[in-house]
Amino acid sequence: MSKRATYQRIARCYDLLDAPFERKRYQPLRPLLFKGLSGRILDAGVGTGRNIPFYPKHSEMIGIDLSPAMLARAERRRAEAARDVQLMEMDVMKTSFDDNSFDAVVSSFLFCVLAPEHQLPALQELARICKPGGEIRLLEYNYSKDPRKRFVMKLWAPWVRWAYGAAFDRNTHLYLADAGLEEVENRFLVEDIVRLIVARP
């Protein structure tokens, strides 16, 4: 099943399925994605719009996603938050934006959905549309090195793959140099499971 089809299928119940993780794990992390950012900012893989309440004020915000059904959910969240956000259906590996279009790009758990062969093309596209000196900030999953935690994550992996088309072993940070990006920061925010990656073109 294609990624678009996966998220078309799951969009209606996505927030419900994700609710326990959102409350306990994701929500405290979202403000970090946008701290200190301003100007024109892209939310790549906006999904149902969970980041929208944390967008910087007085910034021009654009969110893209491959799934119209997910974008429809984001439209509702945009209305609830009363934020001026442009939402667009678009593939992160082949956007329609000009070179150097954004002061910053953020993405929360998009790259764990992309297959290994799509990591580099997606990063190259983000590097192309982000201005020199701008920042690309990514939140991504990582398999824990703790044997017990890793075992639990391995048990969860088939469900995560079926429901979200995602995996815990994408190692997105390893593709940064080949994408022409400089790694600025790479640290764990939740144990050794959720990683923040910051890079610049």
pLDDT (average), residues 172-198 = 97
Model pLDDT for residues 155-184, shown as the tens digit of each residue: 999 999 988 889 999 999 999 999 999 999
Model pLDDT for residues 18-33, shown as the tens digit of each residue: 888 888 889 999 999 9
- DSSP 8-state assignment for residue 95: -
Q: How large a percentage of the chain has pLDDT more than 90?
A: 82
What is the per-residue pLDDT for 53? 94
CA 55/CA 168 separation, integer angstroms: 26
Q: Residue 76, exposed/middle/buried by CB under 10 A (0-12, 13-18, 19+)?
A: exposed
What is the per-residue pLDDT for 192? 96
CA 63/CA 195 separation, integer angstroms: 21
Reported confidence tier of residue 188, pLDDT bands at 50, 70, 90: very high
Model pLDDT for residues 114-145, shown as the tens digit of each residue: 999 999 999 999 999 999 999 999 999 999 99
Containing structural domain, residue 15: 3-200
Tokens representing residue 4 in the block: 């678009």
Question: Model's pTM, two decimal places?
Answer: 0.94
Residues comprising the chain, all counted? 201
**pLDDT higher than threshold 80 for residue 82:** yes
CA 106/CA 109 separation, integer angstroms: 10
Antiparallel, parallel or unpaired: β 85-89 and 40-44: unpaired
Beta bridge partners of 200: 182
Q: How large a percentage of the chain has pLDDT more than 70?
A: 100
Describe the strand order of the beta sheet including 40-44 as a list of residue ranges. 85-89, 60-65, 40-44, 102-108, 130-141, 194-200, 182-190
What is the per-residue pLDDT for 1? 58
Domain count along the chain: 1
Looking up residue 75, the CATH number of its domain turns out to be 3.40.50.150
